[in-house]
């Protein structure tokens, strides 16, 4: 992504010796702050509607959570949870095949969208009961599931531990190569004329008396009609600049990856402790790394990989695939998920600041939710209405005095 660089316009008024450099103020229909998967998808969709978009990113596109993710696209229905959230996740899942085709055609980048399903393993009797309880709820909302006995699981995945008690299989779950997804969205946006200002943190939000008029990012001033906040787990800082609470916290996730080897697993396998994702994308050709994740830790903006984190992941992975023990560990990393207390994303205009739109707080499902978030925010900005209600996700729920 390093080739996408901020382009600085300077006007030389006098030649040396008395040269003065003056920054041109940029103008945009929409300013998007944050170039993770969410910000890049919003920019891409808005540019397709011929809006002039500037994306401002403090590091590089996709450098944070969006590249750290495991790429699982797994909508789940929680019977004690929130139906509109499930509908949002399902909509995200359904949009992926068309988006993958579109991005391949437009950018030449294959985001490696694959459907190999997830086996949610039962490690003990309690898991088994939980799986049996959840299965009819998943079917009830239209998700394909199969309850499998241990023998059926071993037939599908011979490398799995003989102590398993069965699994709930989600055959329609997909997987995407998330770093490629961000790259394709950013390249697509760039090709449609979106400007990326990279390496420039937004430090100030400018206001006319009644509305937000632009931002300052390092040495640049950008004026815009609409501002989109897509700053992941840093969104609380944007809330401070706006004087409106956007309580998003970082939830650290550590991951490890093995060397490439002939696939030992043909599905994503997950237990309540750990998941294993075979990255069987293009180029895998008989050998693929296995991603093992992920911790969930509330330790602030700390992205260090720790011995404890790695030890836990490896121990839990070996419990379900004992023969992994002789594989080489080739990579470790950590990313910061944007977590909200009610586990719901924050989507929609800020009350009283109608030209500021928030798209953040996607926590563990931000990659799954990328296509639907891009679509809904584009609809909101271009048409003033959305095909799925954003009301359940409104920033209004955090208004002072309500929480």
Ligand X SMILES: Cc1cc2nc3c(=O)[nH]c(=O)nc-3n(C[C@H](O)[C@H](O)[C@H](O)COP(=O)(O)OP(=O)(O)OC[C@H]3O[C@@H](n4cnc5c(N)ncnc54)[C@H](O)[C@@H]3O)c2cc1C
Distance of closest approach, residue 335 Cβ to ligand X, in angstroms: 3
User: Phi then psi for 106, rounded to 5 degrees?
Assistant: -85, -35
Site for ligand X in 255-314 (CB under 6 A): 255, 293-294
31 touches ligand X (CB under 6 A): no
The structure tokens listed for 205 are 């939000």
Residue number, 30 or 166, with CB nearest to ligand X: 30
231 touches ligand X (CB under 6 A): yes
Distance between CA atoms of residues 395 and 82, nearest Å: 16
Stretch that binds ligand X, among 33-41, 305-313, 314-322, 390-398 (CB under 6 A): 33-41
367 touches ligand X (CB under 6 A): yes
Work out which of 4, 32, 35, 256 binds ligand X, going by CB under 6 A.
Answer: 35
Work out which of 71, 179, 239, 374 binds ligand X, going by CB under 6 A.
Answer: 71
Residue number, 277 or 321, with CB nearest to ligand X: 277
Q: Is residue 252 within a helix (H) or strand (E), and if so which, with residue range?
A: strand 249-258
Site for ligand X in 80-139 (CB under 6 A): none
Q: Which residues contact 193 (CB under 8 A, 6 or more apart)?
A: 47, 52, 53
Stretch that binds ligand X, among 102-110, 122-130, 357-365, 376-384 (CB under 6 A): 357-365
Work out which of 202, 257, 264, 269 binds ligand X, going by CB under 6 A.
Answer: 202
Distance between CA atoms of residues 181 and 163, nearest Å: 37
Q: Which of 108, 376, 91 is nearest to 228 (CA)?
A: 376
Distance of closest approach, residue 282 Cβ to ligand X, in angstroms: 19
3-class state of residue 258 by DSSP: strand
234 touches ligand X (CB under 6 A): yes
Stretch that binds ligand X, among 79-87, 307-315, 346-354, 358-366 (CB under 6 A): 358-366
Q: Which of 373, 339, 365, 347 is nearest to 41 (CA)?
A: 373
Work out which of 150, 224, 289, 335 binds ligand X, going by CB under 6 A.
Answer: 335
Q: How many CB atoms lie within 10 A of CB 250?
A: 23
38 touches ligand X (CB under 6 A): yes
Stretch that binds ligand X, among 17-25, 57-65, 108-116, 153-161 (CB under 6 A): 57-65
Stretch that binds ligand X, among 61-69, 157-165, 280-288, 316-324 (CB under 6 A): 61-69
Q: How far lies 54's CA from each of 28, 64, 118, 310, in Å?
A: 6, 19, 38, 39
The structure tokens listed for 2 are 């390093």
Strand 275-278 relative to strand 72-73, pairing: unpaired
75 touches ligand X (CB under 6 A): no
Distance of closest approach, residue 18 Cβ to ligand X, in angstroms: 34
3-class state of residue 159 by DSSP: coil
Residue number, 128 or 246, with CB nearest to ligand X: 246
Residue number, 69 or 134, with CB nearest to ligand X: 69
Helices (H), 174-293: 178-191, 235-242
CA 309 distance to own-chain centroid: 21
Distance between CA atoms of residues 368 and 94, nearest Å: 10
DSSP 261: B
Work out which of 45, 360, 378, 394 binds ligand X, going by CB under 6 A.
Answer: 360
Q: How far lies 241's CA from each of 38, 110, 202, 325, in Å?
A: 20, 38, 10, 49
Distance of closest approach, residue 3 Cβ to ligand X, in angstroms: 17
Distance of closest approach, residue 39 Cβ to ligand X, in angstroms: 5
Residues that bind ligand X (CB under 6 A): 33-39, 56-59, 63-66, 68-72, 201-202, 230-232, 234, 253, 255, 293-294, 335, 337-338, 360, 362-368
């Amino acid at each position: 992504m390093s080739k996408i660089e901020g382009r600085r316009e300077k006007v030389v008024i006098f030649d040396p010796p008395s040269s003065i450099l003056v920054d041109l103020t940029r103008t945009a229909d929409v300013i998007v702050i944050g170039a993770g998967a969410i910000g890049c998808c919003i920019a891409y969709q808005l540019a397709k509607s011929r809006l002039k978009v500037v994306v401002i990113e403090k590091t590089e596109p996709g450098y944070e959570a969006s590249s750290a993710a495991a790429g699982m696209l797994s909508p789940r229905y929680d019977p004690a949870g929130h139906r509109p959230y499930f509908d949002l996740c399902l909509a995200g899942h359904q949009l992926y095949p068309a988006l993958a085709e579109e991005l391949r055609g437009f950018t030449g980048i294959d985001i490696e969208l694959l459907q190999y399903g997830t086996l949610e393993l039962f490690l003990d009797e309690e898991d088994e009961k939980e799986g049996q309880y959840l299965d009819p709820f998943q079917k009830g909302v239209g998700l394909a599931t199969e309850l499998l006995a241990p023998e059926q699981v071993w037939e599908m995945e011979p490398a799995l531990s003989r102590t398993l008690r069965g699994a709930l299989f989600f055959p329609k779950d997909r997987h995407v190569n998330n770093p490629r997804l961000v790259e394709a969205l950013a390249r697509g946006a760039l090709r449609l004329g979106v400007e990326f200002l990279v390496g420039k943190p937004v430090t100030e939000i400018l206001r006319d008396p009644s509305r937000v008029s632009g931002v300052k990012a390092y040495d640049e001033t950008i004026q815009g009609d609409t501002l989109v906040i897509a700053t992941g787990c840093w969104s609380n800082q944007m809330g401070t600049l706006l004087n409106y609470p956007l309580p998003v916290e970082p939830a650290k996730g550590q991951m490890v990856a093995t060397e490439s080897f002939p696939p030992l697993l043909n599905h994503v396998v997950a237990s309540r402790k750990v998941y294993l994702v075979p990255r069987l994308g293009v180029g895998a050709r008989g050998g693929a790394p296995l991603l093992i994740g992920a911790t969930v830790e509330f330790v602030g903006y700390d992205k260090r990989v720790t011995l404890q984190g790695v030890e836990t992941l490896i121990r839990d992975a070996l419990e379900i695939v004992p023969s992994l023990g002789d594989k080489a560990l080739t990579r470790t990393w950590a990313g910061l998920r944007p977590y909200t207390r009610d586990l719901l994303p924050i989507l929609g205009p800020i009350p009283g600041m109608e030209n500021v739109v928030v798209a953040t707080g996607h926590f563990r499902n931000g990659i799954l939710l990328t296509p639907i978030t891009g679509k809904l925010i584009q609809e909101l900005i271009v048409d003033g209405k959305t095909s799925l209600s954003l009301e359940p996700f409104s920033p209004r729920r955090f208004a002072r005095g309500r929480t």
